Structure 1
Amino acid sequence: MIMQLYLHIFTTFTNLQYLNFGPSLLYHQRLSFSTSPLTIISTNLLNLHVYLENFNDCLYLLDGRFNQLYTLSANISFICASPLTINNKEKIPTLKCFSLHCDIETCVYDELILPLLHRMLNLEKLSLCLIVGDRKTFFDGNDLKINIINNMSRLNIFTFNIRSSSRFYNQINLPSNENIQNTFRADEKGHCHIYSYPYKLNYYDGITNNFPGGIFKYVRKVSLFDEHPFEHEFFLRIAQSFPLMEKLSVRNEQRQINKQFRQSKNENQDLSIIKYPYLKELDLIHSCIDYHAQFLLDMLM
């Protein structure tokens, strides 16, 4: 049904220049051309915002059928290898703005995404929001400079939010703190998170004790996870960094060390009250009892 609607739009509005084709309020359907190949050709469409099922669907849109396309914003469900052979080599000279967003981890960034970006030789604005797994190296500033920025001489605006993981992690080949915002180790993997600033997404996931702080005024949803305990000072930093936070999820099974130390010494000094003035939802299902007490006794909502 969604494909028929998409086709009907182009056949009805033959001079269409701008199209924002996102999921409806009732259905989270995405476009997919794997079963119904796209037959539309338009020389008028300039600006397209679309939700797609997979990466091949994005390649279909950039195979030349929209040869005047200036802006493409693609939110893709998953990015993975495919047995289908789709052109991912010809240059795309008209495209000036490109946004790629995917919330599911991909292991084919270097094989699929990077070659696509290298086709966009006249790109002026680029936005990437990705989770990349099992690379030999983490993403850092040098990686982005060598593989993206140096290949796009006209690029003026580059925003990114990239999480990467590697099983080849070790302390020797870690990027410097100047190039990464958050690095930690879990599940025998190394994890790294880099992002452009100011951070404009409305969520920030997977925050650990290594979180450096800052002010994130656009963020409304936050999730915390670590294999080491979160102490009172950490939650104070979270409250200060996300002043408009509405949803908070805490995942940590480790007892708070500082709290146990104070109790063993019979120290009863009052800790500063942490305020979360806009918090509406709090998830402590996957956390130990110390964090229940933390939010019941040491905070204001």
Structure 2
Amino acid sequence: MSNLEELGLCLTVYVKKTFIDGNHLKTKIIKQMTRLNQFTFFIRSFINIFNEMSFPSTEDIQQTFIDFPFNKMISYFNNFADRKQSQCYIYSYPFLTRYYTGITNNFPGGLFEHVRSVSLFDEQPFEHEFFLRIQKSFPFIEELSLVNGKPQNRKQSYESNSNNQTLSLIEYFFLKKLYISNVHDDYIEQFLFHIKTYLQNNIIVYVDYESLQRVTHNFTRDSTRTNCAKISKLHLWGQGKRSNSLEEYFPYAKICYGIY
């Protein structure tokens, strides 16, 4: 290992007291590998929160990368009160990995042209502007998964604007798979409303049956019809059952049923 010249590291780790930061990388890796001349990494570290624990700020984490001998480094962290967890990201930039997992509202942005698969999670709502930022940061995204049970706060303001003058259309030109089976109904609307989101043809969608039934008004709603007609394979989770209205609403989709 001491003779390595190039190293790429992708880790998700649970730690007890301190997040993985620049000091860890300098002492545990760089000083041990004296011939290393290229080092790229993507590290998520989690700490379970007990009582009143204090955590470093993003600025504190970033300070540990002073005099770091390689590429630009990005760091940020999130607190999840419901899960009683705190999460810290550190990664090298430009970002060369094809996967970026667990993105929250604190995502600092950037351009990630190599990433093809993205997952989103937060205990705070994802608003329309957040999804616009995600699309701009990951222009070649092919798979997108989402977990968020909190309703959008600004959804009503969009619905009250009959002309939708302030709503920017989010265009996913390369998206092939969309996982929205563990979300609030607002996010199913976010992706199926054609005035909010443009989807390409032949997309595969994973979604909860009852949620989809509500959002599409029992498979009759016009505002979700355009994007639903672009689905080539529909994976429905929960106690759903086949019906003529469902099949007519998804005219080009192979429909598969699953149970949680």
* Normalised-by-shorter TM-score class: 0.5 to 0.7
Which residue is 1:237 aligned to?
A: 133
Among candidates 176, 184, 188, match of residue 78 of structure 2: 184
What is the alpha-carbon distance in structure 2 between the residues aligned to residue 172 and residue 282 of structure 1? 34
CA 1:234 to 1:149, structure 2 compared with 1: closer, same or farther past 3 Å?
Answer: same
Aligned-partner residue type, residue 110 of structure 2: G
Given that 2:58 and 2:75 are in contact with CA atoms closer than 8 Å, whether structure 1 keeps it comes out as no
Aligned-partner residue type, residue 228 of structure 1: Q
What is the alpha-carbon distance in structure 2 between the residues aligned to residue 220 and residue 197 of structure 1? 16
Please list, as runs of the form range in 1=range in 2, the aligned pairs for 1:18-57 lying within 5 A after superposition. none
What is the alpha-carbon distance in structure 2 between the residues aligned to residue 136 and residue 172 of structure 1? 9
For residue 155 of structure 1, give the secondary structure of its aligned residue in structure 2. Answer: coil
Q: Which runs of 5+ in 1 are unaligned?
A: 1-119
Please list, as runs of the form range in 1=range in 2, the aligned pairs for 1:250-269 lying within 5 A after superposition. 250-261=146-157, 263=159, 266-268=160-162, 269=164
Which residue is 1:138 aligned to?
A: 19
Which residue is 2:33 aligned to?
A: 152
Aligned-partner residue type, residue 143 of structure 1: H
Do structure 1's residue 173 and structure 2's residue 91 form an aligned pair? no
What is the alpha-carbon distance in structure 1 between the residues aligned to residue 55 and residue 32 of structure 2? 28
For residue 191 of structure 1, give the secondary structure of its aligned residue in structure 2. Answer: strand
Q: State the Cα deviation string for residues 244-279 of structure 1 (Å, max 9, x = none).
A: 11111111110000113555xx44443010000011
CA 1:234 to 1:193, structure 2 compared with 1: closer, same or farther past 3 Å?
Answer: same
RMSD: 2.0
Aligned-partner residue type, residue 173 of structure 1: P
Q: State the Cα deviation string for residues 166-203 of structure 1 (Å, max 9, x = none).
A: 13684543452636533112211211121112212211
CA 1:260 to 1:251, structure 2 compared with 1: closer, same or farther past 3 Å?
Answer: same
For residue 107 of structure 2, give the secondary structure of its aligned residue in structure 1. Answer: coil
The normalised TM-score by structure 1 is: 0.55
Q: 1:153 Cα shift?
A: 2.6
CA 1:196 to 1:152, structure 2 compared with 1: closer, same or farther past 3 Å?
Answer: same
The normalised TM-score by structure 2 is: 0.63
Aligned-partner residue type, residue 234 of structure 1: F
Given that 1:216 and 1:242 are in contact with CA atoms closer than 8 Å, whether structure 2 keeps it comes out as yes
Aligned-partner residue type, residue 18 of structure 2: T
Do structure 1's residue 200 and structure 2's residue 83 form an aligned pair? no
What is the alpha-carbon distance in structure 1 between the residues aligned to residue 56 and residue 188 of structure 2? 38
CA 1:242 to 1:194, structure 2 compared with 1: closer, same or farther past 3 Å?
Answer: same
Q: Which runs of 5+ in 2 are unaligned?
A: 66-73, 200-260
Please list, as runs of the form range in 1=range in 2, the aligned pairs for 1:285-300 lying within 5 A after superposition. 285-297=181-193, 298-300=196-198
Q: 1:289 Cα shift?
A: 0.9
Do structure 1's residue 125 and structure 2's residue 19 form an aligned pair? no
CA 1:213 to 1:252, structure 2 compared with 1: closer, same or farther past 3 Å?
Answer: same
Given that 2:117 and 2:141 are in contact with CA atoms closer than 8 Å, whether structure 1 keeps it comes out as yes
Do structure 1's residue 210 and structure 2's residue 91 form an aligned pair? no
What is the alpha-carbon distance in structure 2 between the residues aligned to residue 124 and residue 190 of structure 1? 33
Structure of higher RCO (CA pairs closer than 8 Å, 6+ residues apart): 2
Which residue is 1:249 aligned to?
A: 145
Q: Which has the higher strand share?
A: 2
Which residue is 1:68 aligned to?
A: none
How many percent identity over aligned positions?
Answer: 49
What is the alpha-carbon distance in structure 2 between the residues aligned to residue 221 and residue 276 of structure 1? 13
Q: Higher Cα Rg: structure 1 or 2?
A: 1
